Amino acid sequence: MSSPRIGVLALQGDVREHVRALTGSGAEACEVRRAAELGSLDGLVLPGGESTTIGRLLRVFDLLDPLRAAVAGGLPVFGSCAGMILLARDVIDGRPDQPLIGGLDVVVRRNAFGRQVESFETDLTVAGVEGPAVHAVFIRAPWVEKAGDGVDVLARVGDRPVAIRQGPLLATSFHPELTGDIRVHRLFVQIVRSELGLKRGRS
């Protein structure tokens, strides 16, 4: 089976780390900065960073509406930390003019676990990820405040969802790209491969 082509939005955040993890997971990874590059992708990663800054840059680079259209059209997307916020339908404690891509039927609380100095690490059981617990790094992380019926919760910290999936969309509050454990990225590559198989079956 050929390697799926998965882009990493390269406006801010841990771009190289995501590219490395995707490559190690069997994908053909590339950096994405222009709307014209979206059409060649089988999947996309929205890395962590500062969600309001990334939203502003999406407008500057004329990527916001094309990304909304791509997600609405079924493009598999994995958002980590700020990427989870961008994929939400609504955000608590965000800026009133904060642009969102949407796609996930969730309400996310921004910086829910506190400020930078309150960042932490913990081990999580993540549904769909085989083997030992996933070591998760939380940096000014959001959590899911409310999730629709079509959203599957894959992991929690206490009673707060921190990893979710809805169809071809995957999101984590934490940064799996920072630990060297690529199993969450492998899960996303599996989602992309599955979606490609469904598309071929319909054609």
Residue 114 pLDDT class (50, 70, 90 cuts): confident
Distance (Å, whole) CA 30 – CA 37: 10
pLDDT for residue 42 = 97
% of the chain with per-residue pLDDT over 70:
98
pLDDT for residue 3 = 93
Distance (Å, whole) CA 142 – CA 38: 26
- Whether 95 shows a pLDDT value over 90: the answer reads no
By annotation, the residues acting in catalysis are: 81, 175, 177
| CATH fold for the domain made of 5-202 | Rossmann fold (3.40.50)
The whole-model pTM stands at 0.95
- Whether 203 shows a pLDDT value over 80: the answer reads no
β-strand partners of 32:
9
Average pLDDT over residues 10-16: 92
% of the chain with per-residue pLDDT over 90:
83
- Whether 52 shows a pLDDT value over 90: the answer reads no
Average pLDDT over residues 35-46: 97
Distance (Å, whole) CA 142 – CA 60: 24
Please list, in sequence order, all residues whose beta carbon lies within 8 angstroms of the beta carbon of residue 60, skipping any fewer than 6 positions away: none
Average pLDDT, the chain: 94
Whether the CB-CB separation of 45 and 78 falls below 8 Å is answered with: yes
Helix (H), strand (E) counts: the chain: 5, 12
pLDDT for residue 117 = 63
Residue recorded with tokens 């206490």: 158
Whether the CB-CB separation of 70 and 40 falls below 8 Å is answered with: no
Average pLDDT over residues 76-92: 96
- Whether 155 shows a pLDDT value over 70: the answer reads yes
| Token digits of residue 164 | 């979710």
pLDDT for residue 193 = 97
Distance (Å, whole) CA 73 – CA 35: 15
Q: Which residue has the higher pLDDT, 137 or 93?
A: 137
